[in-house]
């Protein structure tokens, strides 16, 4: 079964850091680009970051550029999101997602992990 399982969310103070993980199973992890998408409470979906299948290319939303870093470890079938200088507006449920080729969207999603930035 194709599955994504996020972890690492929690409560953090403004200015703090957190690292999210997304464990993948049931597919050849190294063959697919992966993304992080977040959803603030009561709001819509917001794309955060994408990493290519090889890991050689990364893309970020302007709202997180310079603060967040996406990476992947093929040996562990795991996707990461390092989040630094966190702000209240980063509070959201963070989903990892597997991408289809050719910009055909994200066909597998995790259940999400909650990040709360508050003092």
Partner 1 sequence: QSVLTQPPSASGTPGQRVTISCSGTSSNIGSNPVNWYQQLPGTAPKLLIYNNNQRPPGVPDRFSGSKSGTSASLAISGLQSEDEANYYCAPWDDSLDGWVFGGGTKLTVL
Using the contact rule CB under 8 A, the part of the chain among 14-22, 57-65, 69-77, 80-88 near partner 1 is: 57-65
The reply to whether 75 sits near partner 1 by the rule CB under 8 A is no
Rounded Cα distance between 13 and 3, Å, is 31
Q: Work out how close the CB of 67 gets to partner 1 at its nearest, in angstroms, rounded to a whole number.
A: 15
The reply to whether 41 sits near partner 1 by the rule CB under 8 A is no
- Contact present, 105 and 50 (Cβ < 8 Å): no
Closest CA to 117 of 87, 83, 85: 87
Using the contact rule CB under 8 A, the part of the chain among 15-23, 37-45, 70-78, 79-87 near partner 1 is: 37-45
The reply to whether 110 sits near partner 1 by the rule CB under 8 A is yes
Q: Are strands 58-60 and 113-117 parallel, antiparallel or unpaired?
A: unpaired
- 79 beta partners: 22, 72
Q: Work out how close the CB of 105 gets to partner 1 at its nearest, in angstroms, rounded to a whole number.
A: 3
Rounded Cα distance between 77 and 110, Å, is 14
The reply to whether 62 sits near partner 1 by the rule CB under 8 A is yes
Using the contact rule CB under 8 A, the part of the chain among 9-17, 22-30, 80-88, 100-108 near partner 1 is: 100-108
């Amino acid at each position: 079964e194709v599955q994504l399982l996020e972890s690492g969310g929690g409560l953090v103070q403004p200015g703090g850091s957190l690292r999210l993980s997304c464990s993948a199973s049931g597919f050849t992890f190294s063959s697919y680009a992966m993304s992080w998408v977040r959803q603030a409470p009561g709001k819509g979906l917001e794309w955060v970051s994408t990493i290519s299948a090889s890991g050689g290319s990364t893309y970020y939303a302007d709202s997180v550029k310079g603060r967040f870093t996406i990476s992947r470890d093929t040996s562990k079938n795991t996707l990461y999101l390092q989040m630094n200088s966190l702000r209240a507006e980063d509070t959201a449920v963070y989903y990892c997602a597997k991408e289809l080729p050719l910009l055909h969207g994200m066909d597998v999603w995790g259940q999400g992990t909650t990040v709360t930035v508050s003092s």
